[in-house]
């Protein structure tokens, strides 16, 4: 240790649990290695995908010589914000028509959550947020660092590998009035377990009766079922009752714009006047944080969403990604069934979205990495998007060995 440095007392931070999987994978020289840790789509050939419609939009932007690189306003690109609200709340949403929604462009889902959290920490009367157990690893840090107190509510039932609906209702029922509740709009990460429409309605009734404030994280709209409207159903249910809520959107998955960092935060308010005041305060959160958002990614999204042909082309490509993931679920389930792997694996086809919570324990995951060069997070979450027809047999063998040889 160099004692002459003013930073000599700094200890090395642990690797990010999810990103660390990729670091370990990259160091492995085995030709059989398989990375099921990363939350990014891959083609059947295991390659990253840039959507054709995204390439087309970018080409149009490049060819438009009237475009300049001036700063965007603090709240971002106006077209992008308007179209993002329309995408998640629906074109005919009364909240949009009545100007009760304020939308600000943010740095993908993470940035949208952080801006929303900072706003709530400054201006909302209740500083406790309830998040599902389990949830995306970054949620706890995002809300905690913004100044909110983070508590968990029951969500996943390891015994059924499904939803602990009773536990969820009990925990939210016991939450102090006014508490904030983080809800995954669809394709819950990491479990892939979503409430049914009927269960969502019960959650809505309970939350509204207790004055709990919903904060939706929508990272997978259209990517879960292949249908943009269906995947926004939970959010629209809460907006339809006239109540208030927050929604963070990301275009990382559904447009494949991961590294462009494109997202939006929308806050649905009771009146247009409140929405306008809320927006004025959101600007004060954003300005000292990053001044204003980047222009390129948001321009791609706006170009696609405002052109009917490009929008339709996008929905076809989006549906194809969702269908491939659903097909991988079926293939893995069929393969495990044919292999006679002990246990019930039906949760693989019941869960939805990019991830499957396999039910494998930490020791089994470590065994699969060591013996089969398969990389995933230690909680047994696998990215279905990282699988292909070619790699399903290898994964099946690894799961079979882990289940039969490791307790």
The residues annotated as belonging to the active site are 136, 217, 253
CA distances from 133 to 56, 156, 276, 300, 394 (A): 40, 7, 34, 35, 30
Distances (CA, A) of 298 to 224, 258, 294: 22, 12, 7
Angle between helices 296-306 and 78-89 (to 10 degrees): 60
Q: If you ran DSSP here, which 8-state letter would residue 363 be given?
A: H
- According to DSSP, residue 150 is labeled E
User: Are the CB atoms for 399 and 341 separated by under 8 Å?
Assistant: yes
> What is the rounded CA–CA span in Å between residue 124 and residue 120?
5
- Tell me how far apart the 2 most distant CA atoms of the chain are, in Å: 64
Q: Count of H helices and E strands in the chain?
A: 16, 13
Query: What's the burial of 6, exposed, middle or buried (CB within 10 Å: 0-12/13-18/19+)?
Result: exposed
Q: Which residues contact 344 (CB under 8 A, 6 or more apart)?
A: none
Query: DSSP assignment, residue 307?
Result: S
Do residues 250 and 263 make contact, with C-beta atoms less than 8 angstroms apart?
Answer: yes
SS3 103: strand
The span from the CA of 250 to the CA of 262, in Å, is: 6
Could you tell me the CA-to-CA distances from 165 to 248, 309, 405 in Å, in that order?
A: 24, 41, 33
Backbone φ and ψ of 76, nearest 5°: 100, -165
Asked if 382 and 348 touch (Cβ cutoff 8 Å), the reply is no
134 in Cβ contact with 184 (< 8 Å): no
Residue (of 369, 363, 359, 357) closest to 395 by Cα position? 369
Query: Under DSSP, is residue 4 helix (H, G, I), strand (E, B) or coil?
Result: coil
196 vs 186: CA distance, rounded Å: 10
């Amino acid at each position: 240790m160099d004692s002459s440095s003013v930073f000599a007392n700094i200890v090395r931070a642990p690797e990010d649990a999810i990103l660390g999987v990729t670091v370990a994978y990259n160091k492995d020289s085995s030709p059989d290695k398989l990375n099921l840790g990363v939350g990014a789509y891959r083609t059947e050939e295991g390659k990253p995908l840039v959507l054709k419609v995204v390439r087309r939009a970018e080409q149009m932007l490049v060819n438009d010589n009237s475009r300049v690189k001036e700063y965007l306003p603090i709240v971002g690109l106006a077209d992008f914000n308007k179209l993002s609200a329309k995408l998640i709340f629906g074109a005919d949403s009364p909240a949009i028509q009545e100007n009760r929604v304020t939308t600000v462009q943010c740095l993908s889902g993470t940035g949208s959550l952080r801006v929303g959290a900072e706003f709530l920490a400054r201006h909302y009367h209740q500083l406790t947020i309830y998040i599902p157990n389990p949830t995306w690893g970054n949620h706890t840090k995002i809300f905690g660092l913004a100044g909110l107190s983070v508590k968990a509510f029951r969500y996943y039932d390891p015994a059924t590998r499904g939803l602990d609906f009773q536990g969820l209702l009990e925990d939210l029922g016991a939450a102090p009035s006014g508490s904030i509740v983080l809800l995954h709009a669809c394709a819950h990460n990491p479990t892939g377990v979503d409430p049914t429409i009927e269960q969502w309605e019960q959650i809505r009734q309970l939350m509204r009766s207790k004055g709990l404030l919903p904060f939706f994280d929508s990272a997978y709209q259209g990517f879960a079922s292949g249908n943009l409207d269906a995947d926004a159903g939970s959010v629209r249910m809460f907006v339809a009752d006239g109540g208030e809520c927050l929604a963070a959107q990301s275009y990382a998955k559904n447009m494949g714009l991961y590294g462009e960092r494109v997202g939006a935060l929308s806050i649905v308010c009771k009146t247009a006047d409140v929405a306008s005041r809320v927006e004025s305060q959101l600007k004060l959160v954003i300005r000292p944080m990053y001044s204003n958002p980047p222009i390129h990614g948001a321009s791609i999204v706006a170009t696609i969403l405002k052109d009917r042909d490009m929008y339709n082309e996008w929905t076809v490509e989006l549906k194809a990604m969702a269908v491939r993931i659903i097909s991988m679920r079926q293939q893995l389930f069929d393969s495990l069934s044919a292999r006679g792997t002990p246990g019930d694996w039906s949760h693989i086809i019941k869960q939805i979205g990019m991830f499957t919570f396999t039910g494998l324990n930490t020791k089994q995951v470590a065994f699969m990495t060591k013996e089969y060069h398969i990389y995933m997070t230690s909680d047994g979450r696998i990215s279905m998007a990282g699988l292909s027809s070619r790699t399903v047999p290898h994964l099946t063998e690894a799961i079979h060995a882990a289940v039969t040889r490791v307790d």
